[in-house]
């Protein structure tokens, strides 16, 4: 695009350079080359040269401290990189430089080395330690989501989140390419403001979800950015990373409080506690629905049990009554008074019942108990050969006659 300058206008050097820089600002480009010289200033700015690998072309480049810190790459001489930026003329000396906003490593080997180096550094600091990670709220409802609104990722996430009254606050961000890291950083900081501004009112987010589809190590470079990793570690609420990669898991995912393989898995993680609670409610509802039937069954069982107890008690009572009757009859039948009334008597000597002739002698005094009293008697003679003693006979002198047991 050409700039139409007035032909009769005479410009100062400063004016002309300003015009050039306005024009150059619109000439953003991506250039590839190898770093040949490099200097880091005390201010944090980085000055270097970039050259073609096969041609003699060379260009001075500058990366301001903020952008260099955000790029997450420690630039070194010999690295092949892709710079994204625009040309600029320095007014003091008219020197042209390429102002790089972002830098990307070229080649799988260089990317892998940078990944491994940063991973070791962060591991040594305990950034990935399980003890540091936080649990999700038991029943989260207010969710913050950072992702690209282009594509199906956000739809997959929302479709699998479940109908549990979630409030989802989404911030669009680049998730691939040179501008992904600055875009993600801005989104994370915007979410932080939501937490800090609205958290005290109970309207802030309770969990942050950062998601994208899978991709190659190169396409996931933004998620291996040290600045972004530390932003996730220091975020005020738990962070879920649903970035997904079979090998060389993105460092942001390793640093997150919860790591899932896909955006769908992240949605299921958020809804898990709600699903479990819903299952318990359904189970309880089923119990309530069955309660009347169970109550009727218990009532029927109690009624049957009561009837059985009554029948058993009645049978036991009848058995006891029969036993008592038989016992009474036996007692009555074996009552000594009954035997006496039938004509039997009980002989005693010295208060002891006489059961045999053994130990008795003529002249011994015995007493005989009959139905209507007692008779005192003296034994006249004893016949040991007879099973029955002679019936008592009256003797003179007012004494009773000698008696034996009949």
pLDDT digits (tens, 9 = 90+) for 338-390: 777 777 788 888 888 888 887 788 888 888 888 788 888 888 888 876 554 44
Q: Report the C-alpha gap between 117 and 77 in whole angstroms.
A: 17
Task: Determine the pLDDT at residue 403.
Answer: 40
Q: Report the C-alpha gap between 219 and 98 in whole angstroms.
A: 24
Report the pLDDT averaged over residues 224-237: 93
Position 1 confidence tier, pLDDT thresholds 50, 70, 90: low
Tokens 């420690």, residue? 74
Q: Given strand 207-211, what is the order of strands in its sheet?
A: 167-172, 142-147, 207-211, 239-242, 258-260
Report residue 315 as tokens.
């049978």
Task: Determine the pLDDT at residue 365.
Answer: 87
Q: Report CA 390 to chain centroid distance, whole Å.
A: 103
Task: Determine the pLDDT at residue 247.
Answer: 67
pLDDT at 281 over 80: no
Task: Determine the pLDDT at residue 404.
Answer: 42
Query: C-alpha distances in angstroms, 151 versus 213, 319, 324, 349?
Result: 9, 89, 96, 125
Q: Report the C-alpha gap between 406 and 385 in whole angstroms.
A: 15
- Looking at per-residue pLDDT, the higher value among 173 and 346 belongs to 173
Task: Determine the pLDDT at residue 130.
Answer: 93
pLDDT at 406 over 70: no
Q: Which of 108-112, 136-140, 248-252, 381-385 has the highest mean pLDDT?
A: 136-140
Report the pLDDT averaged over residues 167-172: 92
Residue 196: how many other CB atoms lie within 10 Å: 11
Instruction: Please name the residues in contact with 74: beta carbons below 8 A apart, sequence gap of 6 or more.
Output: 114, 117
Q: Report the C-alpha gap between 42 and 206 in whole angstroms.
A: 40
Q: What is the pLDDT of residues 59-97, one digit of tens each?
A: 999 999 988 888 878 888 988 888 999 999 999 888 999
Position 237 confidence tier, pLDDT thresholds 50, 70, 90: very high
Task: Determine the pLDDT at residue 310.
Answer: 75
Task: Determine the pLDDT at residue 385.
Answer: 65
Contact 29, 49 (CB under 8 A): no
Taken in order 243, 249, 255, 256, the sign of the CA dihedral is positive
Helices 180-198, 226-233: inter-axial angle, 10-degree rounding? 20
pLDDT at 166 over 70: yes
Q: What is the pLDDT of residues 292-324, one digit of tens each?
A: 776 777 777 777 777 777 778 888 888 888 888
- Looking at per-residue pLDDT, the higher value among 260 and 404 belongs to 260
Q: Lowest mean pLDDT of 27-41, 87-101, 139-153, 189-203, name the range.
A: 189-203
- Give the percent of the chain with pLDDT over 90: 29
Task: Determine the pLDDT at residue 370.
Answer: 83
Task: Determine the pLDDT at residue 201.
Answer: 66
Task: Determine the pLDDT at residue 173.
Answer: 93
Burial of 210 (0-12, 13-18, 19+ CB in 10 A): buried
Instruction: Kindly list the structural domains of the chain, giving each domain's residue range(s) and its CATH number in brackets, ordered by start.
Output: 13-106 (2.40.50.140), 117-273 (3.40.50.280), 335-406 (no CATH)
Report the pLDDT averaged over residues 15-42: 90
Burial of 23 (0-12, 13-18, 19+ CB in 10 A): middle
Region for 37 from its dihedrals, namely left if φ exceeds 0, alpha if ψ lies in -120 to 50, beta otherwise: beta
Report the pLDDT averaged over residues 232-241: 94
Provide the mean pLDDT of the chain.
83
């Amino acid at each position: 695009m050409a700039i139409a300058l007035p032909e009769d206008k005479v410009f100062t050097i400063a004016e002309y350079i300003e015009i050039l820089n306005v024009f150059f600002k619109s000439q953003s480009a991506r250039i590839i080359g190898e770093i040949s010289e490099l200097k880091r200033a005390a201010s944090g700015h980085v000055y270097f040269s970039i050259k073609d690998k096969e041609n003699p072309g060379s260009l001075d480049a500058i990366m301001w401290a903020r952008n260099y810190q955000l790029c997450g790459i420690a630039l070194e001489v010999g690295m092949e990189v892709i710079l994204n930026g625009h040309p600029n003329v320095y007014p003091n000396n008219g020197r042209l430089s390429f102002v790089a906003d972002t830098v990307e490593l070229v080649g799988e080997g260089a990317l892998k080395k940078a990944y491994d180096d940063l991973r070791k550094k962060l591991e040594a600091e305990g950034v990935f330690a399980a003890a540091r990670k936080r649990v999700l709220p038991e029943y989260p409802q207010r969710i913050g989501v950072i992702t690209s609104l282009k594509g199906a990722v956000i739809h997959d996430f929302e479709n699998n989140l479940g109908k549990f009254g979630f409030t989802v606050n989404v911030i669009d961000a680049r998730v691939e390419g040179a501008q992904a890291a600055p875009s993600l950083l801005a989104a994370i900081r915007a979410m932080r403001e939501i937490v800090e501004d609205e958290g005290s009112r109970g309207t802030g987010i309770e969990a942050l979800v950062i998601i994208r589809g899978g991709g190659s190590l190169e396409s996931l470079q933004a998620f291996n950015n040290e600045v972004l990793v530390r932003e996730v570690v220091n975020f005020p609420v738990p962070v879920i990373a649903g970035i997904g990669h079979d090998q060389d898991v993105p460092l942001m995912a390793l640093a997150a409080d919860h790591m899932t393989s896909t955006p769908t898995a992240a949605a299921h993680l958020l809804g898990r506690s709600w699903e479990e609670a819903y299952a318990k409610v359904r189970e309880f509802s089923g119990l309530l629905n069955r309660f009347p039937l169970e109550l009727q069954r218990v009532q029927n069982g109690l009624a049957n049990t009561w009837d059985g107890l009554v029948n058993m008690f009645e049978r036991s009572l009848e058995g006891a009554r029969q036993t008592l009757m038989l016992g009474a009859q036996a007692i009555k039948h074996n009552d000594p008074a009954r035997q006496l009334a039938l004509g039997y008597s009980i002989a005693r000597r010295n208060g002891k019942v006489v059961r045999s002739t053994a130990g008795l002698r003529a002249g011994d005094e015995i007493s005989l108990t009959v139905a209507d009293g007692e008779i005192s008697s003296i034994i006249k003679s004893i016949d040991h050969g007879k099973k029955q003693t002679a019936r008592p006979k009256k003797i003179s002198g007012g004494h009773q006659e000698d008696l034996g047991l009949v």
